[in-house]
Structure 1
């Protein structure tokens, strides 16, 4: 059998222009970059992407930036100037993918809508992420991930019953939009290769990305008029699956498989429940979920987390503790699967960053270059599109680039 010579990276040779900022667009760019795409990030001179200054700062730069912009190149370019837009068009002309998460209509106002860009680059794949999408009555409203989570139905389900809805602690709406956008880009690139070389637009709305993962929310309302409500740490309609108090913390137990439930009840000394025919399937357990949860917590509350984990793992019952950042950083399984990588920043610091997901066995992703400082690659990128040193100096003097 003739061996297949694979490229070193799955997306080697794919060029991406990233115009997005903050989370949704740049996370899509990060994902493509991790798997070998050349990602050129366009930032505003002077300020750059606001994410550079979000949360905890080390030597003037957010450590979050080190994750979000690894494997990318940065060009500081004023897109509000005609000259800057001309340079952007030259970059896009040679690109496979354009990522943008401006408010709908922004690029059209600059004469850079998809119709204009596809004239100079018919194969261009354009990922557009916005609050409400490129069409519809809400398209012009400002939208962030938190609003998408609310409109998508997620926020109504988070938190304890009867209390203020809470966020999950991260910008999950933005990240879900980015992942849907990344999938769209890969499908569009495949279609372009297989069916004639034409590109297309991928239109991702934040609330739609959230709504897409809301499971049975709408079918249940459609069929039964049921409006699903917040349920704290429980999983409504699935039993038992909840968080249970221990002497020194909480564990999550998912004992909702029929045979798993029997093993769980045997382990906690409640064979009376495990052998009860009425609890032999999920429907029966859901009817008596309060009784089952009370029995489990009566057992866990008298034990330490470590002891509960040991006992239930031995019984092959899915169980886990609630990890903090310290737990993750010290966990041997994370390290064994290369999910904690050490990255040296361009300021010379070493910082641990998340590993690369998913894991491709033939063409794995890699951490090739640290996140750039603002405009680190401006001159190099401009030379690559044919500008001379004199032209670059003149653009810098006019503050078109930096």
Structure 2
């Protein structure tokens, strides 16, 4: 694990991003671009800032532990976007940027005179990234759209959980994060297009569509065969064996041996090599049809072994297997340490703050965590003076009037 943040400029160091909006869907896109070196200038409401400064399932002395992560590598600048003077300052900042990210409800930016058509008229090479619940067009576009609603509409809520219970959710903000990842992909594609044509464009990332993009063959399955995917708990139908199994010490291990050759290795390890050639289990389709009985046989075997010994034997035999990790497991695991999957970043209040490192890893131009999420308005003087040329008296007057 890195004890200090690295100073790699990153492959996107020549890009300047103005991040508007709040919470997660837009800001996570800004985080990803910042991780790879882009200069991300985050505009926040004076006095309060992004609500993410207070969010998080667990806090330390009332302070968010999520904010330092999602706002890492960013510069915080206060700007009242509801004030005409704040809107003017935003336009001046955008005029000197490559990319602007926003995740307000569609129509909000237009009311502020900051819609794409208005900005493009002044800045034809601008790339505008818009993340919303339903997208910028269509009958639902004006609706308020949170990540949870996008997850429901995109299909993942219906298929998540146990079949005898109401739809469940994952313990993370999956819809928002997926929309941000797709927004980032769109941004990089637009940057590539601009390099060839000098033309900017609009990147429209909808939460429900980002979730839908993860739903594999759900649509053709229904359209062609009438099959509706349902909730299946800890397994995927017709994929066996691939489940969580008990051990002698009460721990659970996950074993994924659904490929023919891997299944043969597992059965040999179980002392039952004949199962690999038994017509009831010899093929992927056959095993899927007998998933329950196969899982019961494997569970009877795993329950006689301690987890550590069982996992070592499975690994030695080339059978994919592992524990269900918690944060504690991640900190203790030597593979996480060897790959520096967890970085430790200096923080003025928390000291050395651990967080997930930048992914993916690039061999020549890696990303880096240069600093944790900043204090509100920490970069006002740097940006308004250095970038816009405002003097200290003007900045002070704008702050006094509530614009900054």
Superposition TM-score, scaled by structure 2 size:
0.95
2:4 is matched with none
Q: Please, which of 97, 100, 109 is the counterpart of residue 99 of structure 2?
A: 97
2:3 is matched with none
1:226 is matched with 227
Query: How far apart are 1:346 and its partner, in Å?
Result: 3.0
Q: Deviations over 1:57-102 (max 9, x none)?
A: 3355311111111110000110000000000000000111111000
Equivalent-residue separation in structure 2 for 1:139 and 1:385 (angstroms): 34
- Unmatched 5+ stretches in structure 2: 1-7
Equivalent-residue separation in structure 2 for 1:167 and 1:95 (angstroms): 37
1:276-355 equivalences under 5 Å are 276-347=278-349, 349-355=351-357
1:3 is matched with none
Query: How far apart are 1:302 and its partner, in Å?
Result: 2.0
The answer to whether 1:76 aligns with 2:78 is: yes
Equivalent-residue separation in structure 1 for 2:21 and 2:359 (angstroms): 21
Q: Deviations over 1:240-295 (max 9, x none)?
A: 11111223221111101110011111111222312213422211111111121111
Query: How far apart are 1:210 and its partner, in Å?
Result: 0.5
1:4 is matched with none
2:204 is matched with 203
Equivalent-residue separation in structure 1 for 2:297 and 2:304 (angstroms): 12
1:16 is matched with 17
- Is residue 346–residue 372 contact of structure 1 (8 Å, CA) maintained in 2? no
Equivalent-residue separation in structure 2 for 1:24 and 1:249 (angstroms): 36
1:109 is matched with 111
1:254 is matched with 256
**Over 6 Å off, 4+ runs:** none
Superposition TM-score, scaled by structure 1 size:
0.96
- Is residue 346–residue 371 contact of structure 1 (8 Å, CA) maintained in 2? no
Q: Deviations over 1:15-57 (max 9, x none)?
A: 0000021111111100100110000000001111111111233
Q: Deviations over 1:343-380 (max 9, x none)?
A: 11133621111111000010001111221100000121
Equivalent-residue separation in structure 2 for 1:157 and 1:348 (angstroms): 39
Equivalent-residue separation in structure 2 for 1:136 and 1:307 (angstroms): 56
Tell me which moved more, 282-291 or 372-381. Answer: 282-291
1:22-33 equivalences under 5 Å are 22-33=23-34
3-state DSSP class of the match of 1:162? coil
2:398 is matched with 395
Equivalent-residue separation in structure 1 for 2:69 and 2:400 (angstroms): 32
Q: Deviations over 1:161-218 (max 9, x none)?
A: 1112111110011111110000000000000001x21111111110110000111111
- Is residue 161–residue 229 contact of structure 1 (8 Å, CA) maintained in 2? yes
1:262-281 equivalences under 5 Å are 262-281=264-283
The answer to whether 1:54 aligns with 2:55 is: yes
Equivalent-residue separation in structure 2 for 1:66 and 1:98 (angstroms): 21
3-state DSSP class of the match of 2:354? strand
- Unmatched 5+ stretches in structure 1: 1-6
The answer to whether 1:386 aligns with 2:389 is: yes
2:159 is matched with 157
- Count of aligned positions: 394
